[in-house]
Homo-oligomer: A and B are copies of this chain.
């Protein structure tokens, strides 16, 4: 049986973030809302896994993931750019991970203002388990989609990213 809203109209089996945009709306609006819906669905699933199985969060995972690829560490400002959040947030997340013994701060030799963040051996081991579960969950989620479609989608999203980046940058560099 189909769901219906208060109007009694059929709105589809699964109302979600994009269901307010009718078919006559501009394709760009519908596209964005569908993108947001997919992203929310996946993010909710992954957040749940990370929390239930490891008691950790997505931003913490993201930060460790970047560190895991930079054996010699990363500066706070690099992490800020990679995670696409402001500097103060990175301080907070690094604080938590440091408290848990998963990362460490070291003063940079060249520039004494900046510190270099690295995974500790424990952090490295912990992240290995974490990322295994993460990868498994992502693989499971995407498994019903055939490989060709995934590759097409990957390529189209590259196009999209290229299209929006300059404008998003302009925003971030706007006067405040």
Could you tell me which A residues sit within 8 Å of B by CB distance? 5-7, 14-17, 19-20, 22, 26-32, 34-45, 48, 62, 65-66, 68-75, 78, 81-84, 116, 135, 138-145, 147, 149-154, 156-165, 167-168, 171-172
Q: Return the chain B residue nearest A9 by Cβ.
A: B70
6 examples of A-B residue contacts, CB within 8 angstroms: A17-B62, A20-B69, A31-B154, A38-B164, A144-B164, A145-B159
Contacts of A26 in B (CB 8 A): 135, 138-139
The answer to whether A43 and B38 touch (CB under 8 A), given A72-B7, A82-B15, A142-B28, is no
- Beta-carbon contact of A161 and B34 below 8 Å: yes
B22 touches A69 (CB 8 A): yes
Give the distance to chain B from A148, nearest Cβ to Cβ, in Å. 10
In the bound complex, residues from chain B placing their C-beta under 8 Å from that of A43 are 36
Let me know if B163 and A145 touch, CB within 8 A: yes
Contact with A31, one of B37, B68, B150 (Cβ below 8 angstroms): B150
Other-chain residue from B42, B84, B153, B163 in contact with A17 (beta carbon distance below 8 A): B84
